[in-house]
C-alpha cells in the first residue's frame, strides 16, 4: 500500500503545489517587507492561499483523470470548497478576533504588566487570496494532469 502512495503522482503534484505556493508567499512578503522572513514558509494566511492552491490542484487533476462527472471528483471538489470557505470564513474570523483580543489586552494593561503571549492574527485569507490560490492550483493541475 505504501509503495502505491509513493507512486501516486496526483498526491505528489498536490503536495508540490502547497510547497510551491508557500514559496511564492515567501517571495511576495520578502519584496513587500524588504527583508526575508522564514516564517512565511510555514505560516497560515497571506497571499496566495496554499490550502486553496493544493485542493484545487487535487480537484482539477482528479476531474481530468477520472471525469468531471465522477463520484470521486464530486467528493474531492466538495471538500475543496469546504476548505476554501473555511480559510476565508472561519479562520479569517478567528484571526480578526485574535487582533481584537490582543488590542484589548494592550489597552487594559496600560500601566500594568499583563503576562500573555500575543495571539496569532493572520490565520485565514481574504477572498482574493483564496481565489488567487485556487486559480494557481487549477493551472498547476491542468499542467500536470
Asked, for residue 112, whether it belongs to a domain, the answer is no
Q: Give me the number of domains the chain comprises.
A: 1
Distance, CA of 26 to CA of 47 (rounded, Å):
9
* Domain range for 47: 2-89+124-144
Q: How far is CA 59 from CA 22, 50, 138, in A?
A: 19, 14, 8
Proportion of the chain in helix, strand, coil states, percent, rounded to 5: 75, 0, 25
Q: Read off the pTM.
A: 0.80
- Predicted confidence at residue 16, as pLDDT, reads 98
Asked, for residue 113, whether it belongs to a domain, the answer is no
Instruction: Give residue-wise pLDDT tens across range 92-135.
Output: 666 667 677 767 777 776 766 566 666 555 567 788 999 999 99
Please report which confidence band the pLDDT of residue 35 belongs to, taking 50, 70 and 90 as the band edges: very high
CB 37 within 8 A of CB 29: yes
Asked, for residue 99, whether it belongs to a domain, the answer is no
Diameter of the chain measured on Cα atoms: 63
Please report which confidence band the pLDDT of residue 86 belongs to, taking 50, 70 and 90 as the band edges: confident
Residue whose C-alpha cell reads 512565511 in the numeric block: 40
Asked, for residue 116, whether it belongs to a domain, the answer is no
Amino acid at each position: 500500500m505504501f509503495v502505491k502512495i509513493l507512486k501516486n503522482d496526483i498526491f505528489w503534484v498536490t503536495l508540490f503545489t502547497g510547497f510551491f505556493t508557500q514559496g511564492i508567499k515567501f517571495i511576495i512578503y520578502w519584496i513587500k517587507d524588504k527583508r526575508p522572513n522564514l516564517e512565511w514558509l510555514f505560516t497560515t494566511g497571506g497571499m496566495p492561499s496554499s490550502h486553496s492552491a493544493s485542493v484545487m490542484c487535487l480537484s482539477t487533476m482528479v476531474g481530468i483523470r477520472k471525469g468531471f462527472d465522477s463520484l470521486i471528483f464530486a467528493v474531492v471538489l466538495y471538500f475543496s470548497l469546504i476548505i476554501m470557505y473555511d480559510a476565508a470564513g472561519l479562520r479569517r474570523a478567528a484571526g480578526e478576533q485574535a487582533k481584537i483580543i490582543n488590542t484589548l489586552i494592550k489597552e487594559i494593561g496600560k500601566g500594568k504588566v499583563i503576562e500573555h503571549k500575543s495571539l496569532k492574527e493572520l490565520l485565514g485569507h481574504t477572498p482574493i487570496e483564496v481565489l488567487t490560490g485556487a486559480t494557481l492550483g487549477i493551472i498547476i493541475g491542468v499542467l500536470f494532469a
